[in-house]
A = this chain, B = another copy of it.
Amino acid sequence: MDRSSVVLVGAGNLATSLGVALAAAGAPPVAVWSRTAESAEALAARVGCPACCNINELPAADIFIISVADDALPAVAREVAACFPAAVIAHTAGSVPMDILRSAGAGRYGVFYPMQTFSKQRVVPFDNISVFVEGCCPQVAALLAGVASMLTDKVVHATSEQRRFLHIAAVFACNFANAAYGMAAKLLEANGLSFDAMLPLVDETAAKVHTLHPRDAQTGPARRGDVAVMNAHKAMLDGPLKDIYTMLSDYITAEAARDNNEKQ
């Protein structure tokens, strides 16, 4: 099968890592669009392709991957669909159903959802990332899977419904884990200590769940039902951190009790 040509519509965090990964795989996007010239040019320069601020000036391509803010997506998709009616149009949003693209007038459409947290400062390689694809028909799904398979071995077909759960799971595994790091930093810095001391712990906590299910990797006072330590901790906290400590500890204790019951 010939390689599909890809236009990146958007030049934000995800588009930046995706564009760099496509270029590294020898299949750079044929153009990058962004509403702001500066963003389009920055990414285009990085991957060696033309930048563009007007969708109707983009070159034709097999696939337009739209990676913009959720609320900008319908209008951008409408414009792409109007200009390139024969192209496949895909979005990259975790919690947006595929059908929004049909509503935007796309004839052939799908989803290309890489499971990762992206930031412009840190370009992330795609080779360990799962990419979840969905297509309006098997051919479009295969086309998107083909693009994904240039970047990673982990290409998975997922429905819009499954993708909603992938996205909310990512909020827990990434956003809430980071919030927990932030609470640790706050407690340390209020006591003249640096968050840096936590980094080997943060890394080991992440490394552990590569080989143990999170349920089996759980440790700490709540896991072992150490009420004395938990009470001492609650007495050191106030405000939202105290409520969060209590709620998460209660959850961990309840889950541990449930696991023990299941094993009996």
Contact = CB atoms under 8 A, between A and B. Distances in A.
A202 B174 contact: yes
A115 B197 contact: yes
Contacts of A245: 168, 171-172
A255 interface: yes
A197 B187 CA distance: 31
A248 interface: yes
Contacts of A193: 158, 162, 165-166, 169
A206 B208 contact: no
A164 interface: yes
A187 to B, nearest CB: 5
Interface string A178-202: 1111111101101111011111111
A246 to B, nearest CB: 10
A166 B188 CA distance: 7
B165 A236 contact: yes
A117 B208 contact: yes
Contacts of A36: none
A165 to B, nearest CB: 4
A100 to B, nearest CB: 13
Contact of A209 (B199, B207, B209, B210): B199
A128 B243 CA distance: 32
User: 6 tightest CB-CB pairs across the interface, nearest first?
Assistant: A175-B220, A182-B214, A173-B184, A169-B184, A206-B206, A181-B214
Interface of A: 70-71, 95, 115-117, 119, 121-122, 124, 128-130, 132, 154, 156, 158, 161-162, 164-166, 168-185, 187-188, 190-193, 195-215, 217-223, 226, 228-229, 232-233, 236-237, 240, 243-245, 247-248, 250-252, 254-255
